[in-house]
Chain A
Amino acid sequence: MIELRGVHKAFGSNDVLRGVDLKVARGTSVVIIGGSGTGKSVLLKCILGLVHTDAGAILVAGEDATRAGREAFLARFGMLFQGGALFDSLPVWQNVAFRLLRGAMKRPRAEARAIALEKLRRVGLGPEVADLYPAELSGGMQKRVGLARAIAAEPEIIFFDEPTTGLDPIMAGVIDELIREIVVEMGATAMTITHDMRTVRAVADQVAMLHEGVIRWTGSVAEMDATPDPYVHQFILGLGHGPIASVR
């Protein structure tokens, strides 16, 4: 479904991505792990075209991501941003139904609102929040609204950028469960970036570790726990000593 071949991206003298190769099969949930500043968010933004790559190819369903018609290409994606990225000036329901109120997917306003309410219900929020503004919501509720917005147009591919960062353990667990349920229910292809190992275990079919600008290791969660790779081992156990610390 998504294939990255030798993707490079540098910001000035900082080579963030140094040849990323990764294949994500249709309907699978891939979690990309790696330390802070290793380029995980940049990788997602490269796929979406928010950041232009310096070299390499990104294929989505066999189609070059840079050549596909922009609107049709992006219509296949939903994304949950790390901070929610909800539009402050719009009430919650219009945030969720944003795509359904304008552009190629435009629906009648009443229908768009009904879909928004249904998606809010799906993420555990009642209709009483629909007319509130994002600033009136807690962090966990904002994440849920962001999740509802990501799935509102039933995308084929959903990206989750640090979905549990800043949440308490209970709310983080709820969000993890929701992500897993929604991805399975929709049959969507999912890419999640996180350094929260609980999220990894909750949502991943496949795990990929990004380190020093390349995918250093890939495998299932069971393989991750059993791998002798010292980088993966150090990361998943959160050890202070090991090869990652020595190269920082």
Chain B
Amino acid sequence: MSVTAPLARLGRAVLGALATTGRVAIFALDTVSHMVRPPFYGREFLLAVLQIGWLSLPVVGLTALFTGAALALQIYAGGARFNAESVVPSIVAIGMTRELGPVLGGLMVAARVASSIAAEIGTMKVTEQIDALVTLSTNPMKYLAAPRVLAATLTVPVLVAVGDSIGIMGGWLVGVNRLGFNSATYLRNTAEFLEAWDVGSGLAKGAVFGFIVALMGCYHGMHSGRGAMGVGAATKSAVVGASVLILAANYLLTEVFFSA
């Protein structure tokens, strides 16, 4: 084996990653351009809002409830080491709204929605339904990708807001019933220390994460390989890609929002 073989493999991997990044970027720009140019497919958009937003509420709500509850226990246990148990309400609220609400909500939506979009569009591709759309004078990007990406960008912040509220409620339930907090004091501390930007930054993250989730689902679905294996691989790539991008975007957005 040549001594340069590992370098060649590394080079191919880097070039492949750059090419994929470029393709995703072009796909994203194309999708956005179709979101703002008529014709608009209102029925497809409303169906996507239902699928992505409404039907994701149970999973996002349950995730937030248990996360808020666990967070309260952890902060109480950690805070007890330096007599700071009273920070539980404010830290739960800030932690949920700034970080855990949007990130866990985004990841749960990625698991549920990116996979379903990729599987649906991938199946449409392998059964020639995408080709059929084109022959029926309908642009697949406009009909399939734009409504889903727009719906996810608009509905995931709403899911995050609901998740934040439920998460804080989870912390309150544990705080009052397990940790001995006074209910009114807990709620007052939550409200006093929570700033509008804590919530706003989380909702902004939610919009970005929603865009990423639907974009990954559509991109990998549209580029699905043939047969069941192709659709399966597209589904897996959509979930993995969306999850990794959400975590990376979360770090970048946190730097932008709070680095000062």
Within 87-103 of A, Cβ neighbours of B (below 8 Å) are at 87-88, 98-99, 102-103
Residues in A neighbouring B132, C-beta threshold 8 A = 79, 81, 85-87
User: Do B129 and A85 touch across chains, with their CB atoms under 8 A apart?
Assistant: yes
Q: Output the least CB separation between A124 and chain B (Å).
A: 21
Indicate if A83 sits at the interface (CB-CB under 8 A): yes
Q: Output the least CB separation between B126 and chain A (Å).
A: 9
Indicate if A234 sits at the interface (CB-CB under 8 A): no
The contact of A99 among B39, B41, B129, B137, by CB within 8 Å, is B137
User: Please, how many angstroms separate the alpha-carbon atoms of A81 and B132 in the complex?
Assistant: 8
Indicate if B74 sits at the interface (CB-CB under 8 A): no
User: Please, how many angstroms separate the alpha-carbon atoms of A71 and B137 in the complex?
Assistant: 5
Q: Output the least CB separation between A40 and chain B (Å).
A: 14
User: Please, how many angstroms separate the alpha-carbon atoms of A98 and B137 in the complex?
Assistant: 10
User: Do B127 and A83 touch across chains, with their CB atoms under 8 A apart?
Assistant: yes
Indicate if A26 sits at the interface (CB-CB under 8 A): no
User: Do B134 and A74 touch across chains, with their CB atoms under 8 A apart?
Assistant: yes
User: Please, how many angstroms separate the alpha-carbon atoms of A149 and B137 in the complex?
Assistant: 13
User: Do B127 and A85 touch across chains, with their CB atoms under 8 A apart?
Assistant: yes
User: Please, how many angstroms separate the alpha-carbon atoms of A74 and B137 in the complex?
Assistant: 6
Residues in B neighbouring A184, C-beta threshold 8 A = none
Within 118-171 of B, Cβ neighbours of A (below 8 Å) are at 123-124, 127-129, 131-132, 134-138
User: Do B131 and A85 touch across chains, with their CB atoms under 8 A apart?
Assistant: yes
User: Do A50 and B129 touch across chains, with their CB atoms under 8 A apart?
Assistant: no
User: Do B39 and A102 touch across chains, with their CB atoms under 8 A apart?
Assistant: yes
Residues A74 and B39 in contact in the complex (CB < 8 Å), given A82-B128, A85-B127: no
Indicate if A104 sits at the interface (CB-CB under 8 A): yes
Q: Map CB proximity to A onto B232-256 as digits: 1 under 8 Å, 0 otherwise.
A: 0000000000000000000000000
Residues in B neighbouring A48, C-beta threshold 8 A = 131, 134-135
Q: Map CB proximity to B onto A70-83 as digits: 1 under 8 Å, 0 otherwise.
A: 11001101110111
From DSSP, what is the main secondary structure of chain A's interface residues?
Answer: mixed
Residues A104 and B137 in contact in the complex (CB < 8 Å), given A81-B128, A85-B127, A85-B129: yes
User: Do A77 and B135 touch across chains, with their CB atoms under 8 A apart?
Assistant: yes
User: Do B137 and A81 touch across chains, with their CB atoms under 8 A apart?
Assistant: no
Q: Which among B128, B129, B136, B138 has the greatest number of chain A C-beta atoms within 10 A?
A: B136
Number of interface residues of B (CB under 8 A): 14
Q: B-side interface residues toward A, CB under 8 Å? A: 39, 41, 123-124, 127-129, 131-132, 134-138
Q: Output the least CB separation between B62 and chain A (Å).
A: 28
Residues in B neighbouring A121, C-beta threshold 8 A = none
Residues in B neighbouring A86, C-beta threshold 8 A = 129, 132
Residues in A neighbouring B124, C-beta threshold 8 A = 87-88
User: Closest residue of chain A to B41, judged by CB?
Assistant: A102
Q: Output the least CB separation between A102 and chain B (Å).
A: 7
User: Please, how many angstroms separate the alpha-carbon atoms of A149 and B132 in the complex?
Assistant: 10
User: Do B39 and A45 touch across chains, with their CB atoms under 8 A apart?
Assistant: no
User: Please, how many angstroms separate the alpha-carbon atoms of A74 and B139 in the complex?
Assistant: 11
Residues in B neighbouring A71, C-beta threshold 8 A = 137
User: Please, how many angstroms separate the alpha-carbon atoms of A87 and B129 in the complex?
Assistant: 6
Q: Output the least CB separation between B116 and chain A (Å).
A: 12
User: Please, how many angstroms separate the alpha-carbon atoms of A79 and B39 in the complex?
Assistant: 23
User: Please, how many angstroms separate the alpha-carbon atoms of A105 and B132 in the complex?
Assistant: 16
User: Closest residue of chain B to A155, judged by CB?
Assistant: B135
Q: Output the least CB separation between A216 and chain B (Å).
A: 27
Known: A81-B132, A87-B124. 16 other contacts (CB 8 A): A48-B134, A49-B134, A50-B135, A70-B137, A71-B137, A79-B132, A81-B128, A81-B131, A85-B129, A85-B131, A87-B129, A88-B129, A98-B138, A99-B137, A102-B41, A102-B138
Q: Output the least CB separation between A25 and chain B (Å).
A: 22
Residues in A neighbouring B123, C-beta threshold 8 A = 88
User: Please, how many angstroms separate the alpha-carbon atoms of A60 and B134 in the complex?
Assistant: 17
User: Do A79 and B135 touch across chains, with their CB atoms under 8 A apart?
Assistant: yes
